[in-house]
Chain A
Amino acid sequence: MIDTAGTKAPVAGRRGPLMDRRSLTRLTVIVVLLLLALFALPPIMSAYYTVTMTQVAIYSIVTLGLGLLVGRVGLYSLGQLAVLTIGAWVGARLLFATGQPFILVMIEAGLVTMIIGSLITLPALRLRGLYLALITLMLAGGVTVIEATLNFPNGGGGFSGYDGSQLHTPQIRRPSFAGTDPAFYRFAVIVAIVMFLLVFAHLLARPGRAWAAIRQSEPSALAAGINTTFYKLWAMALAAFVTGVAGALLAGADRQLFSIDFPIQNSIELLAVVLMGGAFALSGAVIAGFLQAFLPALLQDWGVPNDWLIILFGVGVMQVLTTAPGGIADQFPKDMKRLYRFISRLWRRPPAAAPAPADTATAGKRGGAA
C-alpha cells in the first residue's frame, strides 16, 4: 500500500529513476484492488453490504483527514466527528435548498466546513498537544448540543431547513448518474480516491515536508523558518475540507440524517480506529474506515451487540499506544513477514534433516526444537 511514513523523507526518490520496482509493485496492487472494488464487488455484494461498503468509503475519507492531523502533524483532534456533522449538515441543507449539481455541493460543503473548522480551531492552534485535544473534545460536545437542537434539514424552510411536523420527509437527492445504491457506492469510492490523491499530493509537496518537520519538533521547525501556525492551520483546513466533502457524501448516502446518528462517543471511536489502523500510512486510513464502518455492520449481521466493538476499540487504543504505535498498517506487514520467514524456515528444514540417520522421528524432533 502507499507507505509514506512521516519519519521518512517524502521526496527522497526525486533525483533517482521515476519509480523503483517496489513502488511500482505497490502501485499495481493498489490499482488492481481499486478496480476490484469498483467493478468486481458491486455485482456480487448484497444490498446490505453495498450500503456498508459505501459507508466504508466515506469514513475512509474522514479517517484520512484525522490520520493526516494525528500522524503527520501530531495534532490529536477529538472533534473530527463534529466536523463531519457540520459537513453533512451543510451538504444536506444545500441539496435541499438549491438545484446545483451534487459534485458542486460537495465541494461547497467542503469549503464551508473548512472555513468553520479553521475558525473554530484557530484559537486552539495557539496551544500545543494536550490543550488542543481537550478543546476539540469540548468542541465535539458543543456541536453535538447544537445539532440536537437544530436538527438535520429534512426539507423544511428557514435557516435550519428542519420541519418537525412533517411525517414523510423527502429524501436527500443523489447525483443523477448515481441514483441506485451500487452506482452511489462506485461514486463514493471515486470521490474517496480523489480525496486520497489530494492529500497524497500535499504530502509530496512543500506542506508535507513542513508537517513532517513540525511533527518531529515544533521548535526546530520554527527555527528552520517554517511558519508553524500557518502550516498547522493548513493541515486543519485540509482535513476539514475532505471531512466536509465526506459529510456531503454521507448526506447523499444516508438520504435522511438524524442527530442521534452522530453520538458523541463516536468522536472518540474515530480517533481510536485511526490509531488502530495506523496514522502514519495512508493505507491506515482505509483500514480505519473498515474498522469504523464495516465491523459494526458485520457484527449486526451476526447479531453481536455493538458494545463489544467499543470495548475492542478501547483495548485497541491502549494496545496500539503501548506496543505498536504504527497501528495495523505498520504492524500487519511486519507480522506477515515474520510469519513468512517462519513458514519458509519450516519448509527448508526437512531437506536439511533428511540426510540424518534413519531414525526420522528424532530428526524431526530435533528439527522442531531447533
Chain B
Amino acid sequence: MPSWAEFQPYIVTGLALGGLYALSGVGLVVLYRATGVLNLAFGAVGAMGAFIAYSIIQAGGPGWVGWITCILFCGVVTLGYGMLFGPALAGRGPLVQSIATLGLALVLFGAIDLAWPTSGGQSPSISFPTDNGGFSIGQLQVSWTQVIALGLGVVITVGTGAFLRYSKLGTAMRAMANDREITATLGVPVRRVEAAAWLGCGLLSGIAGIMLADLSALDDTTLVFTVVISSLAAALIGRLRSISVTFVAALVIGLVHDLLTPITQISNYQDMTPFVLATIALLVMPRGQVMARTREEG
C-alpha cells in the first residue's frame, strides 16, 4: 500500500477531473430534464471542438481564438442537431431520442479520425498558459488550470441551480421536465426553451472538451467515451434529476479514479470506477425511485 504522500497529488488531479465531470453531468441533466434527451454525443462534440482548437493553434492562431471557436462550434453543432432531430423524434420517448444521439456521436467520431488521423509522430495536445503557473500547499503543486477546472464545476453547478430556480427560462425548463404538453398549453414557447437547453448543453460540452484535452489527453477515444461514461455515471447517480447529487457524484468519481493510480495492483482497472460506482448506486437505490422517476414510454 503506497504512503499518504503518494496519494496527495492525485487528490488534486482527481478533483480537477471531477470538476469537469460535474460540469458535463450538469449539462446532461439539464438537457435531459428540459427535452427528455440524454445527449450521448456530448463527448464526441467536445472532442471535435478540441481538435478544431488544436488545428487553429497549430496554424499559428492565438490560443483564445481556438478555445472560443471550440466552445462556439460545440454549441452550434448541438443546437443544430437539437433543432433538426428534436422535433422529429419528440414523440418517440427518451430511449429512442437518446439512442439517436449515438448516430451523431458516430458521425463525429468518424469525422475526427478522418480529419486528424492517428499516425505516428507527435500526438496532438493542447496546453493552456495557466498550466505552468500555480501555487503549492505544503509539498503539493496545484496548477491554475486545475483550479479553473474545479472552479468551473462549482460555478456551473451553482449557476445552473440558481438559473433553474430563479430565472424565467429556468422555470420554463423545470415545467417542461414535469410535463411538456401542459407546459405548452400554458403558453411557454416549448421549441425555444428546448433550443436554449440544447445550446447550453453544447457550450458546456465545448468547455469540457477543451479542458479535458488539456488535463487528460487530446485523443478521440478518451474524449468520446471516458468523458461520456464518467459524467453519465454521475448523472445516473443523480437519477438524471438532481444537479447537486450529480456534482458530488462527479467529484467522487474523479477522486476515486485518480486515487487508484498509485495502487499498482488495481490501477489498471481504474477506468472501471464510473461503471462500478453507478452500478452500486443503482443497486442501492430503492426500486420505486428508479422506476417512478424514469420518464419512459409511459
Q: Mark B79-91, 1 if CB is under 8 A from A, else 0.
A: 0000001001100
Q: How far is the CB of A212 from chain B (nearest CB, A)?
A: 16
- For the complex, is A316 an interface residue (Cβ under 8 Å from B)? yes
Q: For the complex, would chain B's binding face be called helix, strand, loop or mixed by DSSP majority?
A: helix
Q: Is the CB of B232 within 8 A of A134?
A: yes
A360 close to chain B: CB less than 8 A: no
The answer to whether A316 and B103 have CB atoms under 8 Å apart is yes
Q: Which B residues are CB-close (under 8 A) to A133?
A: 95, 98-99
Q: Please, how many residues of chain B have a CB less than 8 angstroms from a CB on the other chain? A: 50
Find chain B residues with CB under 8 A from A126 CB: 282, 287, 290-291
Contacts of B144 in A (CB 8 A): none
Q: Which of A93-101, A162-170, A264-272 is near enough to bind chain B?
A: A264-272
A311 on interface, CB distance cutoff 8 Å? yes
Closest B residue by C-beta to A139:
B275
- Check A129–B279 contact: CB distance below 8 A: no
Contacts of B95 in A (CB 8 A): 76, 129-130, 133
Query: With the chains together, A316 CA to B110 CA distance in Å?
Result: 13
Assess the B110–A130 pair: CB atoms within 8 A: no
- Is there an interface contact between B111 and A129, defined as CB atoms closer than 8 Å? no
Cβ–Cβ < 8 Å partners of B278 in chain A: 134-135, 138
Contacts of B102 in A (CB 8 A): 268, 271-272, 314, 317
CB contact under 8 A between A321 and B106, given known A130-B294, A134-B38: no
Is B276 close to A, CB under 8 A?
A: yes
Judged by a CB distance under 8 angstroms, whether A128 is at the interface is yes
List residues of A (131-175) whose CB comes within 8 Å of B's CBs.
Answer: 131, 133-135, 137-139, 141-142, 145-146, 148-149
Q: Closest approach, in angstroms, between the C-beta of B122 and any C-beta of chain A?
A: 21
Asked if B225 lies at the interface with its beta carbon under 8 angstroms from chain A, I say: yes
- Whether the Cβ atoms of B229 and A137 lie closer than 8 Å is yes
Q: B275 is contacted by which of A129, A141, A149, A309 (Cβ under 8 Å)?
A: A141
- Using a CB–CB cutoff of 8 Å, the interface residues on chain B facing chain A are 38, 40, 85, 88-89, 92-96, 98-100, 102-111, 113-114, 221, 224-226, 229, 232-233, 236, 268-269, 271-272, 274-276, 278-279, 282-283, 287, 290-291, 294, 296-297
**Extra A-B contacts (10), CB below 8 Å, given A133-B95, A137-B40:** A126-B287, A129-B95, A129-B296, A134-B236, A138-B274, A141-B271, A142-B271, A271-B102, A305-B114, A315-B103
- Interfacial residues, chain A to chain B (CB-CB below 8 A): 76, 123-124, 126-131, 133-135, 137-139, 141-142, 145-146, 148-149, 263-265, 268-269, 271-272, 275, 305, 307-311, 313-318, 321-322
Complex A-B: 8 CB contacts under 8 Å: A123-B283, A130-B294, A131-B290, A131-B294, A133-B98, A146-B269, A314-B104, A315-B103
Considering the complex of A and B, which 7 residue pairs feature the smallest CB-CB distances, nearest first? A314-B106, A310-B110, A317-B103, A314-B107, A318-B103, A311-B110, A138-B275
